[in-house]
Amino acid sequence: MNANLYEQFRARFPSDRSRTFVEAASGTRWSYAELEDETGRIAACLRSLGLRRGDRVAAQVEKSPRALFLYLACLREGLVYLPLNPAYPEAELDYFLRDAEPALLVCRPKSQSGLEPLARRHRVAALLNLDDAGEGSLADAADSLSPLEDTAACDAADPAALLYTSGTTGRPKGAVLSHRNLASNAEVLKRAWGFAPDDVLLHALPLFHTHGLFVACHCVLAAGAAMLLLPRFDVDGVLRLLPRATVFMGVPTFYVRLLQHPGLDEAATRTVRLFISGSAPLLPQTFEAFHERTGHRILERYGMTECGMVTSNPLEGARKVGTVGAPLAGVALRVVDGKGNALPPGSTGAVEFRGPNVFSGYWKMPERRAEDFSADGFFRSGDLGVMDSDGYLTLVGREKDLIISGGLNVYPKEVETLLDRYEGIAESAVIGMPDDDLGERVTAMVVPSASAGELHPPSIIAELKTMLAGYKVPKELHVVDELPRNAMGKVQKNLLRDRAARVADGAASGPVPGRESRAVD
């Protein structure tokens, strides 16, 4: 049996291939027959470039139906898809291309000339482009070819995608996800959330992230359903299309912004059977306010890049506010103490899980397995949580100080490394502070070097914007005299957060001991 994920999706396509698969914001529709044709042509293009099974295809493109077809074509050809945030500047792309060694880079037309030297430096064999309308050299090359009809034979353990993530130390790590990992999670989520052929998903998430690319699109493909594809989240656009949708997925920021619009009410959401939230904690007040305005109780779930989804509140039954639900079918989850011993309900500890959806390890890092997995095969998530007597998990913190802002991960060490290189800065610490809109806002504390003149926070922020994606750049930057440390010299970020919170509440006369505080939007 061919374990290729695309082949498994194709078995679920509707028998009537004229049914709509995706509709763009412009109103243009692609049927399931056109999905097969488009992916077949792109697959033919990839094959004509000499790409072979297992080669990586990096894509830094805007969201469009054809960008989704590129991903599916990579699956068809047994290639490994590497989605990259369009906001990544050249400095970050340099690392990804060096580490992943892709055979093909697909970029935006406006970026191609600037990326050509980078592609040559890292021996990327081919460079094509695709714009937000799905046009470009990739489309031109594909349209000139006859569509392939076959699908590459793949084993379940063969890699299908490579997504980069990281902890608070070191460079981002590439999580290798197999056809089995992705297929098992797609099937479980389809059943858990009741996806059926008559469902219509309103898709407003990015396509470079697990949530939008795998969770959302895979549920549609596994059910032979349809989706309305918005290029990005836009409150007016979402409210305009909600009456045509049955399911909506979003990050907490989406729900906060919808609640700010007077048009959100029961009438606007009457056709929707399910609202799902993830990628960051959903505040209880957001949950309650949404329920009061619409009558819907948002379903919150939990997962990560390395495994897709692992828990979910139920489709039918109690959705407990503040929890991320119980383990999904096939997932074994436990909360353990510092020695790896399972803890009873009500005890806080480290969250670990095991299942067919969990990746086998990081790209080019086989030596990390002993660190990332327990002896009996449970993945150490780095999150802290507590299970209640009903088996519902509540997340209470992150061991690695990860910041989640607007549903996107920000790793403090990455920002701190750049700040520490800034002339005049002796050291820095980056923390996340609660934010009603973003969930958390990135906040930096910097200590000037002894020889430094007066630091200018807006200038520092401006320089960071040339080196980091916008969501990683601190929203606030405080110049301080020193950072609080414990006896071992480790910066006590909990004290920084507490002090910053008191300042925000007006309970303290100034920032963490320092000369100046400056907020920069």
pLDDT digits (tens, 9 = 90+) for 133-153: 999 999 999 999 999 999 999
Q: What is the pLDDT of residues 297-349, one digit of tens each?
A: 999 999 999 999 999 999 999 999 989 999 999 999 999 998 999 999 999 88
- Calculate mean pLDDT across residues 67-91: 96
Q: Which residues of 251-268 are buried (b: 16+ CB within 10 A; e: fewer)?
A: bbbbbbbbbeeeebeeeb
Query: Same CATH fold, 403-519 and 5-18+30-183?
Result: no
Is residue 165 pLDDT above 80, yes or no?
A: yes
Question: For strand 274-277 and strand 247-250, is the pairing parallel, antiparallel, or unpaired?
Answer: parallel
Alpha carbons within 13 A on the beta-carbon side of 191: 8
- pLDDT class for 231, splitting at 50, 70, 90? very high
Q: What is the CATH number of domain 403-519?
A: 3.30.300.30
Q: Exposed/middle/buried for 16, CB within 10 Å: 0-12, 13-18, 19+?
A: exposed
Is residue 359 pLDDT above 70, yes or no?
A: yes
Q: How many angstroms separate the CA atoms of 183 and 122, rounded? A: 32
Q: What is the pLDDT of residue 503?
A: 72
- Calculate mean pLDDT across residues 21-29: 96
118 token code pair: 């980078």
- pLDDT class for 397, splitting at 50, 70, 90? low
Q: What is the pLDDT of residue 442?
A: 95
Q: What is the pLDDT of residues 444-467, one digit of tens each?
A: 999 998 777 789 999 999 999 999
Determine contact, residues 80/57, Cβ cutoff 8 Å. Answer: yes
Range name among 186-195, 276-285, 436-445 with the lowest pLDDT average: 276-285
Q: What is the pLDDT of residue 453?
A: 79
Backbone angles phi, psi at 185, to 5 degrees: -70, -40
pLDDT, greater one: 78 or 368: 78
- pLDDT class for 494, splitting at 50, 70, 90? confident
Domain chopping of the chain, boundaries? 5-18+30-183, 326-398, 403-519
Q: What is the pLDDT of residues 45-55, one digit of tens each?
A: 999 999 999 99
- Calculate mean pLDDT across residues 177-193: 98
Q: How many angstroms separate the CA atoms of 256 and 275, rounded? A: 13
Q: Name residues whose C-beta falls within 8 Å of residue 390's C-beta, 6 or more positions apart in sequence.
A: 318, 320, 326
Q: What is the pLDDT of residue 325?
A: 97
Q: State the sign of the Cα–Cα–Cα–Cα dihedral 294, 296, 302, 305.
A: negative
Is residue 128 pLDDT above 60, yes or no?
A: yes
Q: Domain 5-18+30-183 - what CATH class?
A: alpha beta
Please determine, looking at this structure, whether the domain spanning 326-398 carries the CATH number 1.10.287.3510: no
Q: Exposed/middle/buried for 499, CB within 10 Å: 0-12, 13-18, 19+?
A: buried
The answer to whether the pTM exceeds 0.85 is no
Q: What is the pLDDT of residue 265?
A: 97
Q: Name residues whose C-beta falls within 8 Å of residue 172's C-beta, 6 or more positions apart in sequence.
A: 95, 96, 164, 165, 166, 411, 414
Beta bridge partners of 229: 24, 203
**Cα diameter, the chain:** 72
**How high is the mean pLDDT of the chain?**
91
